[in-house]
Amino acid sequence: MSNWIDMRLDVLASSPEEINQIERALQDPREELLKWVAKKRGGDPKEIASDVKVLVTLKPTRNLGHLDPSVNKARRFENEWKDKFWGVVWSHVLFVSEAFPEAIFLGEYWDISTSCAGKRVIRGGREIRHIHDGKGMGREEHLRSYMLPTQSGNQHVPDSRRVCGMKLCRWYSR
């Protein structure tokens, strides 16, 4: 039996044009991803393209902040999928992040049926920070802040040279 994973992805871009490009990229899986899924499932990339697109498409739900859309550089996207497609969906996010190295992707996910939740910070196609709580209530609000090193539980902090420039991550560069 597979569980449903709910995902929320906040994207912070460097310009309104970039956030619009990212939105389009999050709707369309890259050819590399299609080939990988086809190889894994034993099919033709062209035949599975529409199914993969439905699976990985992150739908924009709202702009973040109270700015006019012409100057807004932050947007929230959401998706849900069966846990067996975990790698496909997160690979798609990593590919899009790699194509937009200045943008910051803040992902949150939760699975109510297994009472787990987690958060990820991705930039330039690399995961900067990740926490996962398998003992929580399975909702994102039960996780501690993933930006505070003294409060986060199970954390993964690779390569200290990959620092996001946000106010929330400034402690990391000290």
What digits encode the pLDDT tens for the residues 99-123? 999 999 999 988 877 778 889 999 9
Strands (E), the chain: 4-12, 59-63, 74-82, 104-111, 116-123, 126-133, 155-156
* Integer Cα distance of 66 and 128 in angstroms: 27
Mean pLDDT of 18-23: 95
Helix runs in the chain, H state only: 16-26, 31-41, 45-56, 86-99
Mean pLDDT of 22-28: 93
pTM across the whole model? 0.74
% of the chain with per-residue pLDDT over 70: 76
Mean pLDDT of 3-8: 88
| Of the candidate ranges 122-126, 130-134, 145-149, the one whose mean pLDDT is the lowest | 145-149
Q: Containing domain of residue 166, as a range?
A: 4-173
Domain count, the chain: 1
Mean pLDDT of 57-63: 90
CA 61, 107, 16, 53 torsion-angle sign: negative
Q: What is the pLDDT of residue 66?
A: 76
Q: Residue 99 CA to chain centroid, in angstroms? A: 14
Angle formed at CA 62 by CA 168 and CA 59, multiple of 5 degrees:
105
